Structure 1
Amino acid sequence: MKKMLLSLAVASALAGCGSEDTLEEIKTETPAVIPQSTVVFDPSNGAVSVPNDLLFSGTQDGTLVIPGEGDDYSSPQLALGALDGWSTQTPFKIDLKFAAGVSLDATSAATPGSVRIFEVVMGADQSSQTCAPVPAGIACEFVKELSFGVDFITQGSGDAVAVVPLKPFTQGRSYITVLTTGLKDSEGRSIASSSTYALASGEEPLVTPEQKSLQAVLNSYENVIVGNTDLNKDDIIYSAAMTMQSAGEVLSTIKSILAASLQEPSLPTPAVQIPDQPLITVGQLFAMQGMQNVPAMFNAVSYEKGSVLLPNYLKTPEGTELSDLNDVYWQGACDNAIAVMGYKEKVGEAFPEQPLSADDALCHALSGGLLRDLGLDDKRHLTKYNKIPKVQSIANVPVQVTKPSDLATLNAIRGQLGLPAMSMPAGGWPVVILQHGITSKKEDMLALSGALSLQGFATVAIDHPNHGERGIDVDLDGVDDFNASTGSVLAYMNLNSLLVARDNLRQSAADLLGLRLALNFAQDAELNTLDVSFVGHSLGAVVAPAFLATTNAPLAAQVDPLFKVNTVALASGGGGVASFLVESGSFGSFIQGSVLAGAGTAESLAFGAFLQDGALASCADYISNQQAYVGCSFAAFSAELAALGDTTGLANIKSLITEFAFAAQTALDAGDASNYAMRVKDLNIPVYTGVVVGDGAQNKADTVIPPTVASNPIAGTMPLALLMGATVTSQPQMTQAPQSYLVRFSKGHHGTLLTPAANLSAGATAQDSAAANMEMQQQVAAYLKSKGTVLAVTNTDVIAQ
């Protein structure tokens, strides 16, 4: 246990050493001396910039220890206490302290070498024989230096230097950020260490055990850097370690358990059930829904309903208010490994080697004895020390299936398109799994079934959790209390509890894993379940990388084909969820207004009063729609502050939103697409991505998920596609080996993949939207048909050059 955890009493580590003010001697004799500019670091007074691994101090389960942490993790800041590390992708700031009239030299902040980042191996890392016995928190081995301009950049940000990742840090790895004397203030002087840091990182012996522990930590940081680089200790003014979250390990465990179910009778194997039923066509379904002039190809596509039993790791809410969703996030089925190891060390031979219950036996069996269910861990946070999620219920999930049916009609249309006639392959129709967007439903993806049927594909789709037929009716009155398709978007993207939002994303990916395996047992000879592709739109594209990186990861030769997805097409998705939501044209003002309204600051109180009175003048038309009213009011309130010249208030609001985005992205990271994108690339999964970037005039870029995000170069649709290995192109492509492509559309809008309808608020006319819809659907279908070797571009008028 002592090797796993290093006890650092950060709050008292420097007790008796004095604070910044008492230790900093400033002479007041003439001539006046301008106080030295320093890096803020004063743990005894809570002044520590994050990310910083000192916040693992005192952990009992390998998660961050956040001041004020209890049992309620709904606050964005407190949610960090459920995590085993920091965000791999969100920009962060290191605060600096300046005297009046002095500021940061922004040029020095953006100069390579002023800030350097190094990957290291920390103590207690079991992957290293050298570091495994070293106490956790101690820097043990040097790995490499990250490259400025390739891996990250830095820039000035008020009284701070900002570090902006250009690609995600590696999950589970540790890094040390070093500030050097190259960082200058406006007086041309090198910024100095805080007196606290100078004492704790020095060689002079300190007094108390806590002080010595902190000194050992900081010395280990500097020693591992100085011993392996051109830096010396005099160059270093600050250093801090940050360990990244272990994103993906829980989903990998879920896949392993699904695979184990193929041989273990006690673990249920999911299977798609398609009962006998009167067959109808997609066209008939559209007509029943009121659609006029249904295109003929939809009348040649059959429509069936089935179901599949899937494990649900989200708890069932006990009430009907949105706040009742705040604690339904995933939890571990077992005690975490740290608690088990500590208990075993404490009781010695009295430790029960054999399981004491059925749940204990399951934990023991699935973890090789590392995890147990002995009542040692009341939080059950899922981390790298606790990877097995608890199954809260088994969900009976409706499944939608389409297949080409009237081949005469389909082949007639193919002939008009210059395509040869087709027939069902001997092994059945290849299958495309379709996944819809947020506030949408699986039936909306039927819009793709015509184009895909023309290329000889069957399709299968389910709803996301809390969408469509998977809404939650808590009081059993026949009306869903939580359904993002018919009610509030917060039923899924839960801004009131970001751990729940994260785990809704993970549940979507886990459901797709279960569905992919379940297809193999559908007992439908017309479906070739060993030839499966995937199409995701919006939220469906957001959860896709987590699903793809997990389902295609090698596990065992006999089961890998049962999980494999061959080719992928995504539209209007993105990574960096917190960043793109804050800057979304559709959701951004609502999210920023919601954050401001609940902040409790002076600006927050003023905004609360504005919501009750001032906003009515310009936002009265939206009063019946909370989301629209809050969004309109935030925009009006910000405009009023700008008109009044209240730059301080606007700066405070911006700082508040930045802090929220940092905490939110950190909480969401394990479910975020960017953390899985490079795994998709490494697995050589061909991925087509379509995104509307606009024409620079009337037709706007995607107003829901922005193609790029100003505050975070990793966030948005285009960075995600590039991380997955896409090549940007506007021309037709034909290759021998599968390739990934990013196609930018000048016309259309967020929903263009599914609808030819106009979107006047996005500047997309009916004519342009219809043309872009046809082009995007044809590109997707041809790309999947060729398994990623053909990109068919036929209408360049809707493509951005």
Structure 2
Amino acid sequence: MAAEAGKRSFLPRHAPPMMRSVRARLPDLLADTAPCLAPAAPCHFSRPKRTLARLVQKHSNTTGPDRPAPHSGCALERSVRSFREMKKLIAAGVVLVAMLAVGCTGGNGVIGSSNLDLLNGNPGPPVTQPSSNTALFHPAAGILPYPTDLYFAGSTDGTLNIQPANALMPNQAAVNALDGFSTTAVIRERFGGALNPASLTAASVIIVPVTTDNLTKATTGVLAAPLTLGTDFSVGLGQEALVGNTILEIKPLHPLMPSTCLSGGMFLGPNCATGTGYLVFLTDGISDFSGNHAVPDTDYASIKAALPSCAAISDATLHGICQLTGAHMLIAQGLGLSPAHIVLSFSFTTESTVDTLALISATATAQTITAHPTGLTTASLGKGLPGHADIYVGALTIPYYSSKTAPLTDYWHARTFPLDMTSTFVTRFNPLPVASAVLQIPMLVSVPNAASLFGAVPPPNGWPVLIFQHGITRNREDMFAVADSFADHGFVVVAIDLPLHGITSTSDPFYAAGANPLYAGLGLPATGSIERTFDISTVPGVIDPSGLHFINLTSLLTARDNLRQGVADLITLARSVPHLSLGAAGSINPTLIHYLGHSLGGIVGGTLMGVLRPADVGTATLANPGGEVAQLLRDSPTFAPVINAGLAAQGLLPATTLYEQWWRDAQTVVDAGDPINFIALATASHPIHLIQVVGSATPPPAVACIAQPTPPGCPDQVVPNSATQRLILAGGITQVHPPGALGTAALHVFVNFTAGVHGSILDPTSSPAATVEMQTEAIAFAFTGGTQLPVSATAPVQ
């Protein structure tokens, strides 16, 4: 309900002029999709500390005249020195106007006796049973929509603070390490009874991009027009067996905008005043199957009735929420939406996804990189390869942000803040991780020789380079599968292992140990190996298989940072490889570096290309990648059965809310390492070529496709096509059919293969024709700088 003439506005007196005039200007703002920003300010500033009482009383908004212009950030070095100021601001202000004293069930609470399957273990004081069409909202009982910025209450470092610890959020500790909510995971609100899905329309579910104050979490402005149902998001009902039809579920169809403290590539430090948020309105257009229109819960109805002053509410928590809700109603009126028809509104701030890797990329420098010839060719491997490339072994020095001593449980840490010495979470407020070690990691290199079609003489400006990255549970030796074909076109191929991957057999000729004579002169330790499996052994005397612990679902922060470490390593490699000396075989052309990633290498590659400069790596081929990693695993015919068995052992069963919530929060945690949040940046700055195996028009039954070997005609059984399609959609990538794309502009294209399997770019066993076409496309794409992609008319493609 808007403030009436002559009554005190619930907007703070010091709010920016643009915000204070939002009633009159919001329609124009929305039409122009212009952000509601405050005037610019110099880089230095200070704010007085405010007590919680004053925040509650005044609904304090600190995005006033001292907020910097969008591109007025300080130099990175100066901003990094401002971490202490940033911490002081957070400690003073991230206390929200509402302090929730009980556990919250995240939009899924069931009033009544505790039932873990229904996700209700903290019902709070008894309340009247709501009608079936009530949008449940009872903060004292911990019943809230999810996500909501009310979960920041009491934070001192800008991270979520969902309290108290409870078994109803299996990933609660990991979520509490984040500076916001997922850009991709579902948004959920619980109703008192079953909903009619036909009533979930664009008129009944409205989502508005907004700015949120980093201190109070108040909505302070409108960023753009409301999202479009069917284009930006879908809306339906939950999947739980017993209660799913009572849960309204919103799913972003592409990533929401993340929050950031970067502007023009620079860290804003204490000038980072706002986050990116979304304001959700649910209206009485929602109904049950009897046609009963949705109604607000008692608490929310009381809040609306008390606006604009909120004076009628004596409860401190509800009074604070009322102040926040008042800003919601101003925006609603600007949309032409009557507050009388709103049954619930809530806002949430998205997490930062790009900041940390972007700053790592901005500050990374070339490191020591060396390689020596082994005297071996690819023909020496006993794999039937033609021997067109000579093999070198090498080593690369990298900053290692993960933990060598606790690789299964630890995660990235930033430096501590002076006012919260217990917090080392890497967030947008404290975005740079501290290296735990400087590691020497093994590397393989292949160089064209005289037997290759290109010959052994390098081009005048040096050899072009392909950086190859292997898939999950594989290792750097997979590069041999493409070494000869790329050698025939004059490419050196360089490969390192992903984190927690490597060669595990000590008898392998390329096992990177000081005792291996192939590595003599590379400075390896006299004892032990530099393989990045760290010789982890769950069976005494046996090194665990490569990559066994990379997808670490028992420590989701570790899993996220395994992905980010993989990207950081490749950034270092890309900056270092121009300095690689090959002795008599020649040097590297630093302007012609390309990337090929398969499976997990394609997943990491999608993220890499989003933060890497085009001058570092020109083009990328991503073979069989996927986005929204948690959903990828959930849908994967290969991974899902194993993961579900592990979750079931912990009491997390499909078709229960606990299970759904586990997956939702898993995606939230890995968002900052997920290519779904980087692929649009990648296609904006690099030509991208993507490959997926979709199978035949009439594939075998799903139960047959999971057999080994995979029957012909099956779609990818490791990375499901749905995960690849999400990347394609988010990146704006278009399909190419025979004869391909033969223009001069940078391409962002994908090719669907009707034959082959997940590993066909490396292994011709399933379909030699598919392998030849995949590798030929990758070579042509790299060779032409991503401007041409010929597709054979006889290839097994759509």
Return the TM-score normalized by structure 1.
0.73
Once the two structures are superposed, the pairs formed by residues 293-332 of structure 1 within 5 Å of their partners are: 294-296=384-386, 299-318=387-406, 325-326=408-409, 328-332=410-414
Once the two structures are superposed, the pairs formed by residues 34-113 of structure 1 within 5 Å of their partners are: 35=131, 37-69=133-165, 75-98=170-193, 103-109=194-200, 111-113=201-203
What is aligned with 2:727? 720
What is aligned with 2:279? 176
Point out the more displaced range, 519-528 or 455-464. 519-528
Deviation of 1:6 after TM superposition, in Å, equals 3.6
Q: Does residue 430 of structure 2 align to residue 386 of structure 1?
A: yes
Deviation of 1:670 after TM superposition, in Å, equals 0.5
Aligned AA for 1:686?
A: P
CA 1:74–1:207 in 2, change beyond 3 Å: closer, same or farther? closer
Aligned AA for 1:459?
A: V
Deviation of 1:240 after TM superposition, in Å, equals 1.1
What is aligned with 1:667? 669
Deviations 1:80-116 (A, max 9, x none): 0000011101223211112xxxx2111012x222101
RMSD (Å) for aligned C-alpha atoms: 2.9
1:246 corresponds to which of 332, 352, 356: 352
Determine if contact 2:504/2:544 at 8 Å carries over to the other structure: no
Once the two structures are superposed, the pairs formed by residues 85-234 of structure 1 within 5 Å of their partners are: 85-98=180-193, 103-109=194-200, 111-124=201-214, 136-144=216-224, 145-157=226-238, 158-172=245-259, 173-202=276-305, 203=307, 204-205=310-311, 206-226=313-333, 228-234=334-340
SS across alignment from 2:255? coil
Deviations 1:497-520 (A, max 9, x none): 111000000000000011111113
Deviations 1:633-672 (A, max 9, x none): xxxxxxxxxxxxxxxxx633xx443222101000111000
Deviation of 1:583 after TM superposition, in Å, equals 1.0
Counterpart CA distance in 1 for 2:129 and 2:401 is: 57
What is aligned with 2:453? 410
Deviation of 1:495 after TM superposition, in Å, equals 0.8
CA 1:311–1:13 in 2, change beyond 3 Å: closer, same or farther? closer
Deviation of 1:403 after TM superposition, in Å, equals 1.5
Counterpart CA distance in 1 for 2:482 and 2:329 is: 57
Counterpart CA distance in 1 for 2:795 and 2:589 is: 37
Deviation of 1:409 after TM superposition, in Å, equals 4.2
Counterpart CA distance in 2 for 1:283 and 1:576 is: 39
Counterpart CA distance in 2 for 1:222 and 1:20 is: 28
SS across alignment from 2:191? strand
Deviation of 1:722 after TM superposition, in Å, equals 3.3
Counterpart CA distance in 2 for 1:171 and 1:446 is: 39
SS across alignment from 1:242? strand
Deviations 1:717-742 (A, max 9, x none): 12213322321122122011121111
Deviation of 1:161 after TM superposition, in Å, equals 1.2
1:587 corresponds to which of 624, 639, 652: 639
What is aligned with 1:512? 570
Determine if contact 1:38/1:194 at 8 Å carries over to the other structure: yes
Of Structure 1 and Structure 2, the greater helix share is in 1
What is aligned with 2:23? none
Q: Does residue 715 of structure 2 align to residue 701 of structure 1?
A: yes
2:596 corresponds to which of 532, 535, 540: 535
Counterpart CA distance in 1 for 2:658 and 2:375 is: 55
SS across alignment from 2:358? helix
What is aligned with 1:755? 763
What is aligned with 2:376? 280
What is aligned with 2:743? 735
Counterpart CA distance in 2 for 1:705 and 1:114 is: 35
Determine if contact 1:681/1:723 at 8 Å carries over to the other structure: no
Deviation of 1:681 after TM superposition, in Å, equals 2.1
Deviation of 1:460 after TM superposition, in Å, equals 0.8
Aligned AA for 2:752?
A: R
Deviation of 1:595 after TM superposition, in Å, equals 1.2
Aligned length: 622
Aligned AA for 2:369?
A: V
Deviation of 1:179 after TM superposition, in Å, equals 0.5
Counterpart CA distance in 1 for 2:627 and 2:644 is: 19
CA 1:567–1:656 in 2, change beyond 3 Å: closer, same or farther? same
Deviations 1:482-509 (A, max 9, x none): 6999527541110111110000000000
Counterpart CA distance in 2 for 1:73 and 1:84 is: 21
SS across alignment from 1:325? coil
CA 1:718–1:169 in 2, change beyond 3 Å: closer, same or farther? same
CA 1:301–1:153 in 2, change beyond 3 Å: closer, same or farther? same
Counterpart CA distance in 2 for 1:440 and 1:670 is: 23
Counterpart CA distance in 2 for 1:794 and 1:334 is: 56
Counterpart CA distance in 1 for 2:251 and 2:662 is: 16
CA 1:44–1:488 in 2, change beyond 3 Å: closer, same or farther? farther
CA 1:774–1:495 in 2, change beyond 3 Å: closer, same or farther? same
Aligned AA for 1:83?
A: L
Aligned AA for 1:749?
A: V
What is aligned with 1:612? none
CA 1:481–1:681 in 2, change beyond 3 Å: closer, same or farther? same
What is aligned with 1:499? 557
Aligned AA for 1:597?
A: A
Counterpart CA distance in 2 for 1:409 and 1:378 is: 58
SS across alignment from 2:314? coil
Counterpart CA distance in 2 for 1:315 and 1:379 is: 17
CA 1:485–1:726 in 2, change beyond 3 Å: closer, same or farther? farther
Deviation of 1:449 after TM superposition, in Å, equals 1.0
CA 1:507–1:199 in 2, change beyond 3 Å: closer, same or farther? same
Point out the more displaced range, 175-184 or 477-486. 477-486
What is aligned with 1:576? 628
Determine if contact 1:432/1:458 at 8 Å carries over to the other structure: yes
Deviation of 1:796 after TM superposition, in Å, equals 3.6
Counterpart CA distance in 1 for 2:377 and 2:327 is: 68
Counterpart CA distance in 2 for 1:198 and 1:482 is: 58
Counterpart CA distance in 2 for 1:721 and 1:796 is: 24
Determine if contact 1:11/1:45 at 8 Å carries over to the other structure: no
Determine if contact 1:334/1:388 at 8 Å carries over to the other structure: no
Determine if contact 1:37/1:192 at 8 Å carries over to the other structure: yes
Counterpart CA distance in 1 for 2:543 and 2:143 is: 44
Determine if contact 2:211/2:219 at 8 Å carries over to the other structure: yes
